[in-house]
Amino acid sequence: MAKKEAFVKTEPVNRYCGELPRVGIRPVIDGRRRGVRESLEEQTMTLAKAAARIITENVKHPCGLPVECVIADSTIGGVKEAADCADKFRRENVGVSLTVTPCWCYGSETMDMDPLTPKAIWGFNGTERPGAVYLAAVLAAHSQKGLPAFGIYGHDVMDGKDSGIIPDDVKEKLITFATAALAVETMRGKSYLSMGGTAMGIAGSIVSPELLEKYFGMRSESIDSSEFIRRWEEGIYDKDEYEKAIKWVDENCNIGWDKNPPELQHDPERKRWVLETNVKMAIIARDLMIGNPKLAEMGFVEESCGHNAILAGFQGQRQWTDHFPNGDFMESFLSSSFDWNGIREPLPVATENDHLNGLSMLLGKLVTGCPSCFADVRTYWSPAAIERVSGWKPDGLAENGIIHLINSGAVALDAAGEYLNDKGEHCMKPWWEITPEEAANCLSAVDWCYGDLGYFRGGGYSSHLRSRGGMPVTMVRLNLVDGLGPVLQLAEGWTVEIPDEVHKILDARTDPTWPTTWFAPRITGTDAFTDVYSVMNNWGANHGAFTYGHIGDKLIALCSMLRIPVNMHNVPEEKIFRPSAWTSFGTKDREGADYRACKNFGPLYGRK
């Protein structure tokens, strides 16, 4: 059993180059002097401060640090003040632009013209002054100039004196926009680190630099797998940390069973070497991603820098795993919210170097602060098939069938669902909310089974767990289609608890040493969500990533900023939030309009 004393709470820290992006608030105003502008100054600034308060109170960076808002030094009544604001925002590292106003203003003179900054405009819905009229006018200007912006239009008319009060519908859109826009800016300039090459011909592990650069603003970095060998053989890792880590693993990690036939099993000495090597691989992979100043002190200055990687993937199979220990231990711990150094921000690592699924993991993590879990979308189990092989007639969340999410030995350990929310329900959490006791409970729910030597000739330790049922999750997959580009699909649903004896029967048909999550998507009765089978049948690849919460609305908003269409989702229509220009591409077929708008505007960082 893991001990809670083994899990210290670390302080939030920005692990990447550069400052964290800030949200810029642009209070725009009617520029007419001699009474008009003067009468609106206080009300306009009150609106800006109220918006900033909502964002800072409800949104955090994925690293756990608070989001900062920067308000323009003055209200913006014309182009000179707009330029002054833009200059301040450049100095203050503002990456997200929110314009607010309670009144009419001069649209093209006051608008934000930065083509790379995600933008939203909130025009206060009050009739004393036409803030909503300005909203419509300036959104038209944004559309005409090819600078898509989100429009925030409150449902109910309010009184002018209440400009400091933000209604719930406006609050929800402010939070969705800020969360998605900060995710866009957080990725920008970071790297995807490919550790190895293509795994077993899996298309997602054929890394596309063009996709990373044009759609995500990221670099494509790569190292050969032999770099791991060089570093552990030449001692290019923190020896003190390694000693701490292996002691912690021995004391807190449950070693599971070895499924291999006795005559094929590795001897105890080999198994010990494999475990020690797995720990070194985890330390080395982290150093490759984000660097380690301790290496510079040891004389390895170049190696100490890392690759500024916000995401990585490990090829593993087969050239590596036919001889060396697999990456399950490394991928699981780096993608989780804790390790021997304490409770800390997850570092997503994609199995089999599937960068498309890795990007899916990253998007989920950025909008929640929770780890994302890599999975094979392995099997659809119909109610009839479950009853035939187990004798149990599915009910509850499983009554329409379930999808078996099971990766080949690696998953973020938070997937066990051993945390509790304020209602006492099992959940996953942003890392900064996890207690040492919860982290200990989570690790105690995992056992580390020795790798199947048919798959992994070099051995390894797989993270074997079973997710608690009833947790709301969203399954996501980014696909790349020739002639179309990237498209995202998502399915909101729940993890499912099934009887132990049924789980054993179904799980044994695949590999009972791997991590399992039973998933039931929300069914709408139409299209790709006609039934659970349709979800599985329309899924675009063998992999998917799932993240805690029903976060489809945030992912849809985020994808519209990147110009990535969403081809499959079950998010209620009233929650979908995209730039106002999207309505010009059609209001009846919103999925088709999304495709047309994304094609028209092109990738955010593409060069037209």
Structure-token pair, residue 129: 């002054």
Residue type, 189: G
Torsion angle, alpha carbons of 535, 540, 541, 544, to 10: -60
Pairwise CA distance, residues 151 & 420, whole Å:
36
Give one DSSP letter per residue of 235-273, joined into a string.
Answer: T-S-HHHHHHHHHHHHHHPEEEEE-S-TTTPPPHHHHHH
- Prior bond to 318 cis, omega within 30? yes
Nearest to residue 138, comparing CAs of 122, 160, 125, 127? 122
- Three-state DSSP at 491 gives strand
Burial class (CB in 10 A: 0-12, 13-18, 19+), 184: buried
Determine the Cα–Cα distance for residues 253 and 269; give it in Å rounded to an integer: 18
Please list the alpha-helical segments (H only) found in 447-587: 500-508, 532-538, 552-562
The pair of structure tokens assigned to 78 is 């014309």
Contacts of 499 (CB under 8 A, 6+ apart): 392
Helix (H, G, I), strand (E, B) or coil at 84: helix
- C-alpha separations of 523 from 164, 376, 380, 570 in Å: 40, 21, 14, 8
Enumerate the active-site residues. Answer: 352, 376
DSSP for 448-479?
EEEP-TTT-TT--EEEE-BPPSS-EEEEEEEE
Six-digit token string for 51: 């918006």
Rounded to an integer, what distance in angstroms lies between the CA atom of residue 305 and that of residue 288? Answer: 8
* 113 residue type, one letter: M
Phi, psi of 356, deg, nearest 5: -70, -40
Determine the length of the chain.
608
